[in-house]
Structure 1
Amino acid sequence: MSQRVRVAVLAGGPSAEHEVSLQSAQAVLDALPRKLYEPVPVIIDRQGRWPVELRRGLADVVFPVLHGPFGEDGVIQGHLETLGIPYVGCGVLASAVGMDKVAMRRAFLAEDIPVTPHVWFTAHEWRATTDHWSLVKTLDWPMYVKPAGLGSSIGISRATSVEELRAGVELALTYDRTVVVEQGVSARELICGVLGDHDTPDASVPGELIVHGDWLDYEAKYLSQAEIATIPATLPDRVAEDVRELSLRAFRAIGGYGLARVDFLQERETGRLYVLEINTMPGFTARSVYARAWAASGVPYPELLRRLIDLAFARSGS
């Protein structure tokens, strides 16, 4: 194209991950090569109000750097589909499945992708019994309690007793009406980036998250200045290849397109790998482990953005 491509970068939104989205979007805006692209920032407020009406005349392609509900769960993707505007990242179905921790695990289990033991229940099921232990009795302490449809470690608690379980579930229910409780595993936490289309995606070198305490919480990910990952991870070649292969399988299991970050647990005692979750719009902040994993794989940040935008046009046939 002789003219610069207009890229609408969506940020903010009504989810609990509003601030993270703003950080990610600013990094994208700063790094878009100005010779190729004309960035158009579109900041959605916490009530879901848009500053402008999104339309084809406003942008040639949309980069929805929105995390959590309304941005990463298929809602904005469906809206962009109705407008007929090319957009970066996974489509409606993959976004919805990747965002819902119950649907995601069902998709993984259907493809024989290993996941940690877990249970899930609704707010109604939780309120309908006083024997809360009965809902999690197949698991051992410690357990991790999570809202089914949220990311960035928001609303997550570690429980080592029924009292802590109750507190954790009540916290999770302030964010979602469905709760997932996972078996705790003494493990290394690994990540791997996926980039590409449905048929021939590529996997990055794996990284390892540096976890101080029981898990990498929201503050450690986004507010602390401490290092949060070692990239590449120090792994035997065989394990690194297993991580990459499982990442591609997880991506295909949800019907992914464009990008995703796959998170793993590697059990310390056995070395077994579990796929913890897949993130269809991982953080794009300057400290983003997704971007760093691809930089370590030979794809610097501006080139990563270019590839993602090219993939958006390729899917739409533009």
Structure 2
Amino acid sequence: MNVSTRQLKAFLCLARLQSFTRAAEQLHITQAGLSFMMRDLEAQFDCRLFDRTTRAVSLTPAGQQLVPRAERMLAEFDEACVALGKISAHAKRVLTVAVAPVVAVSLLADVCKRFAELEPGVTVRLRDVNKERILAMVESGEVDVGFCAQPSTTSGTDRLSLFKCRLLCIARPGTLDLKPARGGGLPVIRWAQLPKLPILASADPSQGLIDEYLEKIGRAHEERPAYASMPTIIAMAAGGFGIGFVPSFALPICQRLGVEVALLQRPSVEIDFYRITKKGREIPRLVDPFVASFVEVARAAGVAQSF
């Protein structure tokens, strides 16, 4: 059986007006079209719903039984449409975002403030989790969008580079023996100039990139502590326990904690920062203004511009 709501509405209209002419006019269809719908409805129910004469149309006993049931079905359908519409409207005003904790601490408060200016009334639900969890949450649909540096390639996600970061060296103030930079930018330090202090390593796979450069100066295999959290590395560097390496998107938190920061050169190291979305899923409308806010704040903080 394939009864449509359109057929039921036409049935109730004809039952009320008892005239094919007036019912067809009210429904904005032809009398022939209305007659065809009613014959099809009777065929699906395998019974007559109307007695037709040259002057009048009246309900059969079966048609009389169908009237309250059709009314109830259409009322429930309308209620469901309203409820689903409210759910959809609410979903359109909520954006769920996943980022690494260091990005959340460094940038997300300002990003959310800027986004609120573009999209007032939208709720941002923030999930601060590690890189692997970001990818899993995007792929499962648990979040609308994720942001991270150098994500792994997965079959269920798409990634778009938003900007490039630079690799920074951090330490307790006075440790790196830096000279002020021209033009008020960040001071620089060469890999070969790194002080002979413990290297605060990351347990993240991105440490492999850093080790490639440490290998060139003979320091890739030193005994060193390793930390899972970048904020921990920053805090330990601030406490004088060694030197660390962080992408420039961590610059705001480094500055707040008062650590010494230098741009690594010879060579400088660029790190792509990506937007992560679910492959095959339509990107929610709110993602684009959030990305625009993210990039704007990153540039204003000196994270996503040339040093």
Q: After TM superposition, is the score higher than 0.5?
A: no
TM-score (ref. length: structure 1): 0.30
* Bigger radius of gyration among the two: 2
TM-score (ref. length: structure 2): 0.31
